[in-house]
Amino acid sequence: MKLARRLQAIKPSATLALNARAKALAASGKDVVVLAAGEPDFDTPEFVKQAAIDALRSGFTKYTATAGMPELREAVCRKLEKDNGLKYAPDQVVVTAGGKQSLYNCFQALLDEGDEVIIFAPYWVSYPDMVHLAGGTPVIVPTREEDGYAPDPAAIKKALTPRTRAIVLNSPANPTGAVYSRATLEGIADAVRGHDCILVTDDMYEKLLYTQEPFLNIGNVAPDLVPRLLVSNGLSKSYAMTGWRLGYAAGPKALISGMQLVQDQSTSNASSITQKAALAALNGPTDTITAMVNEYRERRDLFVAGLNAIPGIRCRLPEGAFYAMADVRGLMGKSYKGKPLTDSLQMSEALLNDFLVAAVPGDPFGAPGYIRMSFVTSREVLQKGLTRLRDFVAALG
Ligand code: PLP
């Protein structure tokens, strides 16, 4: 069947695809170590679930305003002011079905055919495809592991053109776990200052920080850029609510109105029940987040140390999020089952098929030669994963 031309540039999400395969193997009785997931293994906090139950019981099951119920938009404003020092009015906020929809709406509202969006590699798999879906052109600017994945201001300046409409910042980052320092954010701000483009900050992993320094949004170091900031965030990772689908965005009123229009004519409001749960989450205690972060920090230390103990694998300690990005270039050229190992796609296939380890190749993130493994699983499973990785490396000739 003939499908729209714009779909030709779109790839299915590599992480979702690998997860689906790993889940299918597990369902068939195989003992799969799943390190591909992008979601917490913790359960949604009980008080959040209770708010949803109460919403259902009281019949709060109808449409809400497209941009979200007023109390929730107000709660988002309070959160952004308290946690991030960013002041927004409720009509500068739109509540969406996940952070993914916030970003999708943003690009749909912002881009004309051929408009450019600067994305730093390694990047979250969905950014380039979302830009393509909106008719835009992703402009990929590489960053280097040696620089802690901090973008080079000179490279940003070089990438900016009259068609640049937006630049995407994601710190803490998926897949690298990198966190931008104040100096890095100042460098980015200096590079884009004077160029009329929107700064899209994807703050989804804001709460998952293992450093002493507090989270910084570029708006904190460059207040003059706040008028062209689009902050995207959500509850998926911080409150272990991936299945609930709740995100939000705050930004210039005109852009938020455009995003609301996109949502008006596509999905309408995020689920009313989820919105009540989100209201409870944002107004509630944060001890569940602290407990989660403490546990993830220990898992990170254990897992990354284990990876670095495997010859040929090298892994930088991520400062945030919950992914380990391991450099496996040291294994390339060795032979596996009589054939040379040439890339991380092939390695990921071998790991899943022969060692029952689901780890995502770096290629779809713009990071060939790396594999991404999440440490949002029990320490026991992480240890089992490390043992199997060691077995894989031992099997190389
Ligand atoms: N941004 C980044 C960097 C992510 O990794 C994810 C999810 O994996 C999202 C946004 C989207 O999250 P949500 O589940 O709220 O749509």
pTM of the model: 0.96
CA nearest neighbour of 329 among 317, 347, 316: 347
Ligand 1 contact via 203 beta carbon (within 6 Å): no
Angstrom distance (rounded) from CA 72 to CA 250:
13
d(CA 317, CA 304): 7
Q: What is the pLDDT of residue 40?
A: 93
Question: Ligand 1 centroid to 264 CA: how many Å?
Answer: 22
ipTM of the complex: 0.99
Rounded distance between C-alpha atoms, residue 163 and residue 115, angstroms: 5
pLDDT of residue 388: 98
Report the distance separating Cα 173 and Cα 85, nearest Å.
Answer: 21
CB 314 within 8 A of CB 356: no
Beta carbons within 10 angstroms of residue 118's beta carbon: 27
Q: Helices then strands (H, E): number in the chain?
A: 13, 15
Residue to substitute in 39, 44, 126, 360 for testing ligand 1 pocket (most ligand atoms within 8 angstroms of CB)? 126
Q: In residues, how long is the chain?
A: 397
Give the 3-state secondary structure of residue 25: helix
Beta carbon of 202 within 6 Å of any ligand 1 atom: yes
Give yes or no for residue 38 CB within 6 A of ligand 1: yes
Q: Would you say the CB of residue 136 lies under 6 angstroms from ligand 1? A: no
Angle, in degrees to the nearest 10, between helices 14-27 and 344-355: 10
Successive 10-residue mean pLDDT values, the chain, 397 residues: 87 78 90 92 96 98 98 98 98 98 98 97 96 96 97 98 98 98 98 96 98 95 98 97 98 98 98 98 96 97 98 97 98 94 92 95 94 96 98 95
Q: In what order do the strands lie in the sheet with 360-361?
A: 314-315, 323-327, 370-374, 360-361
Q: Is 145 exposed, middle or buried (0-12, 13-18, 19+ CB in 10 A)?
A: middle
Domains of the chain listed by start with CATH number: 5-43+288-394 (3.90.1150.10), 60-283 (3.40.640.10)
Nearest CA to ligand 1 atom 8: 38
Phi, then psi, of 263 in degrees rounded to 5: -70, -35
Distances (CA, A) of 173 to 244, 322, 347: 22, 9, 23
State the pLDDT at residue 14.
Answer: 72
Ligand 1 centroid, distance to 320 Cα (angstroms)? 14
Residue with tokens 């000179």: 154
Angle between helices 272-283 and 70-84 in degrees, nearest 10: 30
Q: Tell me 363's DSSP state.
A: G
Structure tokens at 190: 């200096």
